Amino acid sequence: MSAKVRTQEEIAARVKALESMLIEQGVMTTQAIDRLVEIYENEVGPQLGARVVAKAWRDPDFKARLIEDATEACKELGISGLQGEDMVVLENTDSVHNIIVCTLCSCYPWPVLGLPPNWYKDPQYRAAITREPRKVLREAFHFTVPEEVEVRVWDSSSEMRYWVLPQRPAGTEDWTEDQLVDLVTRDSMIGVGPVAAVA
């Protein structure tokens, strides 16, 4: 079992124990916890970023505005808020693949990506992705970037939060925005994974 899987299982067990304790002590109810989960699954998070990406894939004018000023372009879609100030979108191309990290802490564009995953905050990830990005992608995420593609690692900060505009998959030229949204993953917007495979 990989360290990443073990860590996820350990975190899940801790979360479950904490949830049980809060309910038993009357601090929270099951309904309140379910509502918090629903908010982060449906009202904030990577599904909003996926909507932005899908629109950029279909609308060249919006894509240009997104690359010029991601914060303002996202506001056009009603997406803004805490940790969403000063966002910068990095476009993946045939020759460049972008990855984001925050080497100092865990600065992250919450409005479009939701809460940062635990591995994003892990000091080992933060150090390794900057030194050996291809190796980390391959070994931790089972994601290989072709050798001919340049890999760029961008260090987010409280003043500038980066995220990735992944490449639109071939064969989706006639797809609707709703269809495209389903292809965009959180990891593809961090740069550590691909978009979902086209069926």
Active-site hit among 74, 107, 156, 188: 107
Residue 74 is labelled as binding a ligand: no
Q: Is residue 81 a contact partner of residue 87, using CB atoms and an 8 Å limit?
A: no
Active-site hit among 2, 20, 105, 158: 105
**Known catalytic residue: 107?**
yes
pLDDT in tens, the chain (199 residues): 455 545 667 767 777 787 788 888 887 887 877 776 666 656 667 899 999 999 999 999 999 999 999 999 999 998 776 565 689 999 999 999 999 999 988 788 878 888 888 899 899 999 999 999 999 999 999 999 999 999 999 999 877 899 999 999 999 999 999 999 999 999 999 999 999 988 7
Q: Which tokens sit at 63? A: 């894509």
Q: Which tokens sit at 140? A: 């931790």
Active-site hit among 20, 74, 95, 106: 106
Active-site hit among 74, 102, 156, 188: 102
pLDDT for 41: 58
State how beta strands 161-165 and 96-101 pair.
Answer: unpaired
CA distance 186 to 132: 21
**Known catalytic residue: 106?**
yes
